[in-house]
Amino acid sequence: KQEVTQIPAALSVPEGENLVLNCSFTDSAIYNLQWFRQDPGKGLTSLLLIQSSQREQTSGRLNASLDKSSGRSTLYIAASQPGDSATYLCAAHFSGTYKYIFGTGTRLKVLA
Amino acid sequence: GAVVSQHPSWVICKSGTSVKIECRSLDFQATTMFWYRQFPKKSLMLMATSNEGSKATYEQGVEKDKFLINHASLTLSTLTVTSAHPEDSSFYICSVSARGGETQYFGPGTRLLVL
């Protein structure tokens, strides 16, 4: 069964800390993987899209990596700020399917 | 990537009424559109897939008569929640892709609250 898992479900860190969010998937045959941010009661914001052929993508203080062989992706946030507090979701598009499978998210709180 | 919008961003309605949610692909020919639903504290789950000009294909367990999907053009799909009930309260998100495309571009979502 194709699944996406995000651990931990919640994380609190002090401001300024570098942090890593984890996403694991059960099938290494993926087209691509996306990371999203969701603020409480708000919509999705796409952060980074990594294609199957790529190892990482960067946008500002965010860096996402993809290791298909181990079934893992990480989202690295540098110098975290209180404004980074949100739920971060990863979603994988597995080969041979037409839909994205989402993880349940990691709820991040950056303390001032 | 494509720019996708949804309207409204949130809606409150009375039980028994129908609600229409629009998904627009602003700069992309979206031959295929997808509708996902997010349950509280759970993952987003695909509800249905629609190709432009064709009937939607619904995932197992999704009532097609309750969640009406129309994909009349390459830039617009609508999801109508008919005779909405409190259990339909949820977060609905659309995504778009090109024909055969492996990448979906997601809209920001619409939050529905049925009283």
The residue of chain A with its CA nearest to that of B48 is A99
Quick one: how far is CA B45 from the chain centroid? 11
* pLDDT digits (tens), chain A, 112 positions: 889 999 999 999 999 999 999 999 998 899 999 999 999 888 889 999 999 999 999 999 999 999 999 999 999 999 999 999 999 999 999 988 888 999 999 999 999 9
Return the closest-CA partner of residue A95 out of A49, A50, A36, A28.
A28
Is A8:B72 a contact under the CB 8 Å cutoff?
A: no
Distance CA B115, CA B110 (A): 16
Interface of A with B (CB under 8 A): 4, 31-32, 34, 36, 41-46, 49, 51, 89, 91, 93, 98-105
Is B45:B37 a contact under the CB 8 Å cutoff?
A: yes
Sheet strand arrangement including B76-81 = B4-7, B19-25, B76-81, B67-70
Q: Is the dihedral angle over the CA atoms B43, B48, B49, B51 positive or is it negative?
A: negative
The encoded tokens of residue B41 equal 């504290």
Subunit contact B106:A104, Cβ cutoff 8 A: no
Pairing, β B67-70 against β B110-114: unpaired
The arithmetic mean of pLDDT across residues B17-45, rounded, is 90
Comparison of pLDDT for B84 and A99, the residue scoring more: B84
